[in-house]
Amino acid sequence: MVAKKISSLDKVLGRLESLDSVNLTNLVQRLARERKLLETVFNTLREGILVIDRTGVIEYANEAASRMIGLKDDDLGEVTLWKLVPDLAKSIETNLEELRPRLPLLLREIEINYPEKRILRLYIVPFKEEFDEGVRAGDDERETGHFAVILHDITAEKLSTDEMIENEKISSILLLAGGVAHELGNPLNTLNIHLQLIQRQLRKMEPTEEADRIRESVEICSGEVGRLDGIINHFLKAVRPSPPDFQDIRLLDLIEEVLRTQADELADRDIRVDVELNRDLPVILGDRNQLKQVFFNIFKNAMDAMDAGGQLRVRAWSDEHSVFLQIADTGSGISRDDLSKVFQPYYTTKKRGHGLGMMIVQRIMRDHGGHVGIESKEGVGTAIFLQFTQKHRRARLLKSGPDRTGGDG
């Protein structure tokens, strides 16, 4: 058995009743200094530290913990940790009933949205001495136990890991898709060559009714081969992750250009387009062809989701840093369960869809330093939100990039 070391302060506290007023005053001052020292140490830590009682009431929080979970000074002794993680109380009870003083008692990851979105890892540890006394004394004393809760902010770690996994998954899928599209191009080229040879032979034949039918069939086949070749080339340009060729872009001009190319299809489907864009919308930096692909994919998805008589609405606004676009349809909408899958590769609700459209949209927006979001309700419609950094702001960020990584500052 290891002997417990007794400090000089413990000795003084052991004969507290025999101290006179002067020594009591000195003791109080010494305790105040030690408390201030401990609080200073705790407040220099990056990890958050809480002390909670058996009912979850937070009795102490260092500065890091207060920042992480948005605690105020007057919250101490009033707010419970169960407010953040409701099922922790039951988990602690289950562990305590096993009467095993192992450390940590609980390890949990939680996501909070206030005061800002964070992912925290919680270690909950019982105070060892109180736990042991509770075990010896019975249930009544066990109710007075306290726990230390250590909070570690793993937001950046978690998000970077998730993003790395997502990027690796997307890269492998795009590589596979690009390879398949490339391989399809070889037999199409062979078909095209043989169709051209047949057409040459047909020109040498005498004009008969049968020859005219064959000539017409060959022309149809040749046209379809050309169309498939165009689709493959368009697909390869979309999925190959090439760096954006940044230039000045006026979003209104670009959107109008894409809508003109889809005008016939919109008219055939009897879909009304309502565009409200300010002509003075700030200029952004972007790759013209890639952003056209973004709008083409979003508009096509909207058309496919709507019946005849639907409406496609495009809105835009800006603040001092960004330009925002909202593209909304009155289509069938997306269920809550499927909404989180929209940007996943090969997810689609279309019978003939390949499920890469919105994934490509997300990749292009990310490469442009922008963001894409989605809201949808079944039977009502879907709204896509795009956020672009204004030219002056993005130029400043690009200019300051080398300074952050290799400059003197």
* Domain limits, the chain: 47-153, 159-239, 247-397
Specify the fold of 247-397: Heat Shock Protein 90 (3.30.565)
C-alpha distance from residue 149 to each of 58, 76, 88, 98 (Å): 10, 14, 12, 20
Tens of pLDDT, residue by residue over 204-230, are 888 888 888 888 888 888 888 887 877
Whether the predicted pLDDT of 21 surpasses 70 = yes
CA–CA separation, 346 and 170 (whole Å):
10
According to DSSP, the β-strands at 247-249 and 284-286 are antiparallel
CATH code, 47-153 = 3.30.450.20
Q: In what order do the strands lie in the sheet with 311-318?
A: 272-276, 311-318, 322-329, 381-389, 371-377
Q: What is the pLDDT of residue 330?
A: 93
CA–CA separation, 71 and 83 (whole Å):
12
Per-residue pLDDT, averaged over 362-391, amounts to 88
Kindly report which listed range (27-31, 106-110, 306-310, 353-357) carries the lowest average pLDDT score: 353-357
CA–CA separation, 55 and 82 (whole Å):
9
Kindly report which listed range (50-64, 65-79, 172-186, 218-232) carries the lowest average pLDDT score: 172-186
Per-residue pLDDT, averaged over 150-175, amounts to 72
Per-residue pLDDT, averaged over 172-178, amounts to 68
Provide the pLDDT confidence category of residue 303 given band limits of 50, 70 and 90: very high
Q: What is the pLDDT of residue 177?
A: 67
Residue with tokens 């109008």: 256
Higher pLDDT, 47 or 174: 47
Q: What is the pLDDT of residue 328?
A: 93
Higher pLDDT, 167 or 157: 157
CA–CA separation, 189 and 295 (whole Å):
30
Q: What is the pLDDT of residue 91?
A: 66
How confident is the prediction for the chain on average, in pLDDT?
77
Contacts of 375 (CB under 8 A, 6+ apart): 382, 383, 385
Query: Does 159-239 match 47-153 at the fold level?
Result: no
CA–CA separation, 145 and 127 (whole Å):
7
Q: What is the pLDDT of residue 236?
A: 66
Contact 173, 179 (CB under 8 A): no
CATH class of 159-239: mainly alpha
Q: What is the DSSP string of 168-192?
A: HHHHHHHHHHHHHHHHHHHHHHHHH
Q: What is the pLDDT of residue 40?
A: 82
Kindly report which listed range (18-22, 39-43, 122-126, 399-403) carries the lowest average pLDDT score: 399-403
Write out the H or E segment, with its range, that includes residue 312.
strand 311-318
Tens of pLDDT, residue by residue over 227-257, are 787 767 766 665 666 788 889 999 999 999 9
